[in-house]
């Protein structure tokens, strides 16, 4: 770290999703994968957050800190993706983009049907849940990227573009379904503006744009903050997320068994679909894993804000508890390694 | 001197309208207030608990408190609108007090 | 129209109880409020100064302001409890106002 | 029991003076309040909008709300001073309410 | 810092304004300079901030974040300058210091005369504007330093000292002018205390002091935070500045054409003056560029606070919109490369 | 950044309390030690904070920043200690743990007796002060660790464990003493919950746990944030602490001469005791210094919160001014080098 630093070949490059991580090694079996994930500082920090809430600790993240960390994480992901994009042929993008759009259209419809038919939810509640599960959770995406990095598994640089593309359509579709099925809903146009101008899309897309225009040289200048510090900041953020998720767990009894099962089964189904479509679209092992995770994740930033405005009849306890209290921890702890295992299996049989 | 005696200084008696509502309504409430005749408002970020449970974080949804000094007429107009547009589905409480305002003409 | 005239809209006159106290009491005060019959509250983080000096940082101890719309009976119950349990040793001020509340039945 | 009925508990009726002003005046307003006889105050950071436009960030200038429970005499003294020293050039609003205060003697 | 990084000679030393930046190369023409500046992550982040405001995004920096970033930036600049000063002969300082004082006295007088005579502004408004344009914007200064670093252009280590010296006199002079020309102004002594004890001077001077006393060895201990992370933090800060500046742009119609022109022409004039005086005082190419930028910049932290207290009659819309909405973006995007081009021309003809 | 990093002698390892700091050298005499400490950026930042308050600067740390920094510092110390623990034989721990418990029991009793007998304090005030001086200040501990690092003096990795162990008992004992000696105290159980679930213990213990489970490889992933940035963040934190301490100094006249003397003499006595017991328990020179500093320090996070709840009769001016305004600055500036000198003397005579 000093001035006289010796030959630097081994240094992790700062701006790449294709990490040549010195820690990298490919674990062979799924149990080992799981252990690796569960004992990572990120997942452990999430567990600590849960514990903090369970023991009623007075530990509380200032809201300004939470907001600052999320601004940082979104911008950082965008910047790195953009810098990567600046050296990627854009022709590689269209197939995965189509796969993403397909996911964004199909999954909310499937969720809605399931929740109405078998779950007997009201139109408003079913549509609200469909919006959340069709959209994507940026933090889960980030966790997947980070896990791939820890495994030394290359991931396409344009993935953040896909996140921006997956975030919107499902919410719009779910809201449209709700309109058809009921009257007296809130303002759809306001809700759509809320999503497009929402900070998650703005920061992701803005970061992509800055990273793309200023290129790898530009990113290099700001790498100590936006690249090197990424995982450490993620640890802090997941500590907070643990506290939030644990608070949600208190409402678990209110949401009923069906939603509990839905919160675990639906991600697995959507995750498999995502891995499959991603692989078909030519994504690498790591890329397909990440797309699967994206499909499996439930939004809890963009969707709740839009749904609260456009569908005030829906009960926030239901969608927040399912997305934050059930699906997020599930994906973080078990889902991601599972989608990776599936992707590995797919890619092994394919080649 | 009795505590509730009137003041020598020239003040006008107006209504102080206080609305505590979930933060997601901020823009809409401000727009409505202005449209219905309020000349200004003061906004505070707060937390709270009521029939819809605790509201104190990003996800539970924080609350805001909007205060506006208005004429009784405007107060009533705003309250009717709130009752219709927000009370059914959103976490909202609203109440009025009488206040003696200096330069009260500015606010009617 | 006189500023303090009653409204056409259906409102109920209740008490708005305001308590400003050192932040360390937050959990306890909320527990007490609920136990004594308050149906909700709104909490603001504030600073202040009084007989116990300035209270504005982590160590001086910040203050909170708790506001609750309650029936007069509940108001009185809470005030008595405060006077006994907190006034002797803690930095606390409490006062009541009359407020006209829409959907007032919800809060009694 | 009528909502505005007096309480059994011993309270004193005093004035609650509320001042919302641009934050740059904080030190000066507090100094003035104390000099003119206020025994304490509670301060909240707020945003707002009025005749001088939106005030909500570092540069637009945030607002503060100062609340002080004072005797009517002191209230009047402070209002006169505000009218003279601040109203012409600064963003300020001020109003009074009647409040029933426990241990009211402390604040006069 | 990168993968192909050669023997470590090229590593940017962490505590120096004389960067041996691996990215360094001297662009030959002014257009190239402009492109380099406009596509830097810092300027692009500023643009993103403007866009966020224009699309009414819900992205909002917590005030605590803004304050924290500005504390960091000021302290960091001070620390680095101080560590540099600890190895600089102080005799090098007096001529540039005199040049700075001359700028601090002349520019507010010139602005005032111009605004009164040709702009027909009231005494209060003219004096308020003069205070802002005579003083200095710390962030513009930081942007200039960063641009020089990106070009590999050495800058004298004592520049932050000059910032502290330039900040105060213009404000005091402008307030004194206003006193002479009107009655009923606010407290001058309070305003002066406001400036001297204001956080920008305190942090800059305090940082200089700490850096000077603890020296380069001291700075080395805290370099990962205060040196390596600097540009990344600046990107975050400029994102916020873009949002603030864009909000100001909404008042543009109210300020009138004269002030709009003033906000662009005056910086260029003061910038040329600064570059010229700086070069005369023996500053290097980079140093003269930075002094020019300082002269060209309009304060929007120290001056508004002092002016609001001492000159409440002045209309804040005017000075805030001019300083933040017009002059700051102009300097950031076009001014700095322009002053650099001028300085290069001056130094080329001189040698 | 990597494990297999080639000739690494010059690189400061990121996750170790046994620093091979390139800056390291062992000063020979105590004056030199003092100079080294007083001119470190950390102590100078503390001084700057004091100055900021004395000149009534408008510099103010947002509360969210203060809270965020303290969360970071506590978690970071825990993480590094935990990673270190993961390679330490736990048998080395029991003797120092016993020494720590002995300190946690003896020092509050001694303080209480002294304050009652000679200081003529009320039961409540004496017990409150005893709770503070018997417990430990995490920031003082961190300053000691950092000073040892700057000297290149190895410190045992399990020290944060001892901090968690020292924090609690003294507070409980002091509160029990107060119960015996008076009536009408607040809730003891609430106070005890307040300590155990308090964020300082939670973050320290949680960090230890994460660091231990994820090991050095885990820490390596988040080292840029939690290891490299540590001292820089500490500088920011101490700047804020200086402002807080200086505000306390205004109450100095109210606390009386006895408490002033107590705030300086008691730490020295407890510090010597801590160094002595630590050395007896087999701690290294650096470890004994740190344990001495821990014993010498007065808590100002955990203790005030617990005492305010359980002992509302005690006057907060007294304990806050003594702990924050007197003892903290004393330890930071003079105490730590003094305890180090004592430890060196002890270890020299022992060997
Ligand atoms: N009785 C009350 N007194 C004061 N504030 C209340 C009361 N009830 C509700 N609130 C506030 O209004 C918000 C919405 O109330 P609710 O719709 O009942 O959940 C709560 O989060 C509180 O901030
Ligand atoms: N006269 C007053 N008006 C408004 N708030 C007050 C007044 N006196 C005290 N307070 C608030 O109550 C808190 C505790 O007051 P005290 O116990 O008198 O120190 C203060 O920190 C203020 O926030
Ligand atoms: N009618 C109003 N009701 C409540 N607060 C107001 C009102 N008018 C102004 N304010 C507050 O007072 C501040 C200054 O008002 P003004 O001087 O009219 O711009 C505003 O920023 C608001 O916070
Ligand atoms: Na999804
Ligand atoms: Na200037
Ligand atoms: Na101790």
pLDDT tens for residues F294-307? 999 999 878 888 88
Average pLDDT of the residues of chain F: 87
- Site of tokens 């002060």: F129
Could you report the per-residue pLDDT of E203-234, keeping only the tens digit for each? Answer: 989 999 999 999 999 999 999 999 999 999 99
Residues A282-298 have a mean pLDDT of 97
Instruction: Answer whether C58 sits within 8 Å of F305, measured CB to CB.
Output: no
Q: What is the pLDDT of residue A19?
A: 39
- C-alpha to C-alpha distance for E251 and E153, rounded to whole angstroms: 37
Kindly report the three-state secondary structure assignment for every residue of chain A. CCCCCCCCCCCCCCCCCCCCCCCCCCCCCHHHHHHHHHCCHHHHHHHHHHHHHHCCCCCCCCHHHHHHHHHHHHHHHHHHHHHHHCCCCHHHHHHHHHHHHHHHHHHHHHHHHHHHHCCCCCHHHHHHHHHHHHCCCHHHHHHHHHHHHHHCCCCCCCHHHHHHHHHHHHHHHHHHHHHHHCCCCCCHHHHHHHHHCCHHHHHHHHHHHHHHHHHHHHHHHHHHHHHHCHHHHHHHHHHHHHHHHHHHHCCHHHHHHHHHHHHHHHHHHHHHHHHHHHHHCCCCHHHHHHHHHHHHCCCCCHHHHHHHHHCCCCCHHHHHHHHHHHHHHHHHHHHHHHHHHHHHHHHHHHC
Q: What is the pLDDT of residue B15?
A: 97
Q: Kindly state whether A89 is in contact with chain F, defined as any CB-CB distance less than 8 angstroms.
A: no
Residue whose CA lies nearest to ligand 2 atom number 17: C91
- C-alpha to C-alpha distance for B38 and B32, rounded to whole angstroms: 9
Cβ(E206)–Cβ(F50) below 8 Å: no
Q: Is the pLDDT of residue A44 over 90?
A: yes
Q: Kindly state whether D5 is in contact with chain C, defined as any CB-CB distance less than 8 angstroms.
A: yes
- Ligand index nearest the alpha carbon of residue C52: 2
Could you report the per-residue pLDDT of D76-87, keeping only the tens digit for each? Answer: 999 999 999 999
Angle A30-38/A336-350 helices, nearest 10 degrees? 150
- Residue E103 parent element (H or E): helix E94-117
Which of C39, C43, C102 is facing B94, going by the closest CB pair? C102
Residues of chain C with C-beta less than 8 angstroms from the C-beta of F244: 57-59
Average pLDDT of the residues of chain A: 87
Cβ(E342)–Cβ(E293) below 8 Å: no
Residues E112-127 have a mean pLDDT of 95
Nearest atom in ligand 1 to the alpha carbon of residue C43 is: 23
| E86 or A276: which leads in pLDDT | A276
* Best mutation target, A316, A325, A326, to test chain B (most B CBs within 10 A): A316
Q: Is the pLDDT of residue B46 over 70?
A: yes
Cβ(F78)–Cβ(F230) below 8 Å: no
Which of B22, B59, B89 is facing A300, going by the closest CB pair? B59
Q: Is the pLDDT of residue A308 over 90?
A: no
For residue F130, what are the β-bridge partners? none
- C-alpha to C-alpha distance for A23 and F219, rounded to whole angstroms: 11
List own/partner pairs for E86-90 with CB under 8 A and 24 or more apart. Answer: E86/E211, E86/E212, E86/E213, E86/E215, E86/E216, E87/E157, E87/E215, E87/E216, E88/E156, E88/E157, E88/E158
End-to-end CA distance of chain B: 30
Could you report the per-residue pLDDT of D48-104, keeping only the tens digit for each? Answer: 999 888 887 666 778 999 999 999 999 999 999 999 999 988 999 999 999 999 887
- pTM for the predicted model, two decimal places: 0.90
| E174 or F23: which leads in pLDDT | E174
In degrees rounded to 5, what are phi and psi of residue D50? -160, -150
- C-alpha to C-alpha distance for C48 and D27, rounded to whole angstroms: 13
Residues A228-239 have a mean pLDDT of 95
pLDDT over 70 percentage in chain A = 91
CA distance F77 to chain A (A): 14
Cβ(A259)–Cβ(A339) below 8 Å: no
Q: Given pLDDT bands bounded at 50, 70 and 90, which one contains residue F69? A: very high
The mean-pLDDT minimum among A255-259, E7-11, E283-287 falls in E7-11
What is the ipTM metric for this complex? 0.90
- C-alpha to C-alpha distance for A27 and C38, rounded to whole angstroms: 57
Residues having CB closer than 6 A to ligand 2 are C 20, 48-52, 55, 63, 91-93; D 39-42, 67-69, 107
Q: How far is CA A270 from CA A34, A277, A301, A334, D88, in A?
A: 20, 10, 19, 14, 64
Q: Which of C91, C94, C96, C97 to mutate to test the pocket of ligand 2 (most atoms within 8 A of CB)?
A: C91
Q: Is the pLDDT of residue B1 over 50?
A: no
Residue whose CA lies nearest to ligand 1 atom number 9: B50
Q: Is the pLDDT of residue E19 over 70?
A: no
Could you report the per-residue pLDDT of F183-240, keeping only the tens digit for each? Answer: 666 677 777 777 778 888 899 899 999 999 999 999 999 999 999 999 999 999 999 9
Q: What is the pLDDT of residue F92?
A: 84
Q: Is the pLDDT of residue A24 over 80?
A: no
- Ligand index nearest the alpha carbon of residue B67: 3
Q: What is the pLDDT of residue F29?
A: 77
Residues of chain E with C-beta less than 8 angstroms from the C-beta of A203: 59
Beta-carbon neighbour count of residue F278 at 10 Å?
A: 31
- The secondary structure of residue E299, as a DSSP letter, is -
Residues A173-197 have a mean pLDDT of 78
* Best mutation target, A218, A229, A302, to test chain E (most E CBs within 10 A): A218
Beta-carbon neighbour count of residue A99 at 10 Å?
A: 25
Q: Which of C48, C51, C61, C66 to mutate to test the pocket of ligand 2 (most atoms within 8 A of CB)?
A: C48
- Residue B22 parent element (H or E): strand B11-22
Which of E68, E72, E210 is facing F45, going by the closest CB pair? E210
* Best mutation target, E178, E299, E306, E312, to test chain D (most D CBs within 10 A): E312
pLDDT over 90 percentage in chain D = 69
Q: What is the pLDDT of residue E21?
A: 43
Q: Which of B46, B48, B97 to mutate to test the pocket of ligand 1 (most atoms within 8 A of CB)?
A: B48
Instruction: Answer whether F65 sits within 8 Å of E75, measured CB to CB.
Output: no
Q: Kindly state whether A229 is in contact with chain E, defined as any CB-CB distance less than 8 angstroms.
A: yes
Residues of chain F with C-beta less than 8 angstroms from the C-beta of C89: 312-313
Q: Kindly state whether F228 is in contact with chain E, defined as any CB-CB distance less than 8 angstroms.
A: yes
Could you report the per-residue pLDDT of A58-91, keeping only the tens digit for each? Answer: 899 998 999 999 999 999 989 998 998 898 887 8
Instruction: Answer whether C14 sits within 8 Å of B83, measured CB to CB.
Output: no
Q: Is the pLDDT of residue E28 over 70?
A: no
Instruction: Answer whether F247 sits within 8 Å of C58, measured CB to CB.
Output: no
């Amino acid at each position: 770290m000093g001035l006289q630093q010796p030959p630097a070949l081994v240094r992790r490059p700062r701006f790449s999703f294709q990490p040549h991580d010195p820690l990298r090694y490919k674990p062979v079996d799924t149990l080992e994968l799981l252990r690796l994930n569960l004992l990572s500082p990120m997942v452990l920090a999430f567990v600590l957050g849960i514990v903090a809430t369970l023991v009623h600790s007075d530990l509380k993240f200032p809201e300004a800190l939470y907001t600052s960390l999320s601004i940082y994480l979104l911008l950082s992901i965008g910047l790195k993706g953009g810098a990567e994009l600046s050296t990627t042929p854009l022709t590689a993008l269209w197939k995965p983009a189509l796969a993403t759009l397909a996911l964004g259209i199909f999954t909310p419809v499937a969720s809605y049907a399931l929740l109405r038919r078998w779950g007997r939810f009201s139109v408003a509640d079913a549509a609200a849940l469909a919006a959340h599960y069709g959209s994507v959770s940026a933090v889960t995406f980030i966790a997947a990227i980070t896990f791939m990095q820890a495994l030394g598994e290359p991931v396409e640089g344009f993935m953040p573009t896909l996140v921006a593309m997956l975030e919107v359509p499902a919410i719009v579709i779910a809201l449209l379904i709700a309109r058809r099925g009921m009257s007296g809903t809130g303002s759809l146009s306001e809700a759509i503006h809320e999503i497009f101008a929402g900070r998650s899309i703005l920061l992701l897309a803005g970061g992509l744009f800055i990273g793309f225009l200023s290129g790898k040289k530009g990113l290099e200048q700001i790498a100590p903050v936006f690249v090197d510090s990424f995982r450490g900041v993620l640890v802090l953020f997941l500590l907070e997320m643990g506290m939030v998720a644990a608070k949600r767990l208190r409402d678990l009894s209110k949401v009923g068994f069906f939603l509990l099962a839905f919160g675990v089964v639906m991600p697995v189904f959507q995750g498999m679909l995502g891995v499959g479509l991603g692989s078909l679209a030519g994504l690498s092992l790591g890329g397909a894993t990440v797309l699967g995770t994206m499909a499996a994740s439930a939004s809890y930033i963009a969707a709740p804000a839009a749904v609260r405005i456009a569908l005030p009849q829906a009960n926030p306890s239901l969608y927040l508890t399912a997305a934050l209290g059930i699906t997020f921890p599930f994906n973080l702890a078990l889902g991601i390694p599972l989608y990776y295992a599936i992707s590995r299996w797919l890619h092994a049989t394919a080649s | 001197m009795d505590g509730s005696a009137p003041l020598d200084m020239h003040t006008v008696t107006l209504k102080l309208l206080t609305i505590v509502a979930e933060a997601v309504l901020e823009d809409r409430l401000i727009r409505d207030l202005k449209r219905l005749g309020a000349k200004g408002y003061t906004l505070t970020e707060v937390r709270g608990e009521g029939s819809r449970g605790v509201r104190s974080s990003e996800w539970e949804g924080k609350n805001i408190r909007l205060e506006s000094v208005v004429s009784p007429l405007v107060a009533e107009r705003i309250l009717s609108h709130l009752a219709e547009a927000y009370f059914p589905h959103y976490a909202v409480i609203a109440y009025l007090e009488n206040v003696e305002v200096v330069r009260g003409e500015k606010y009617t």
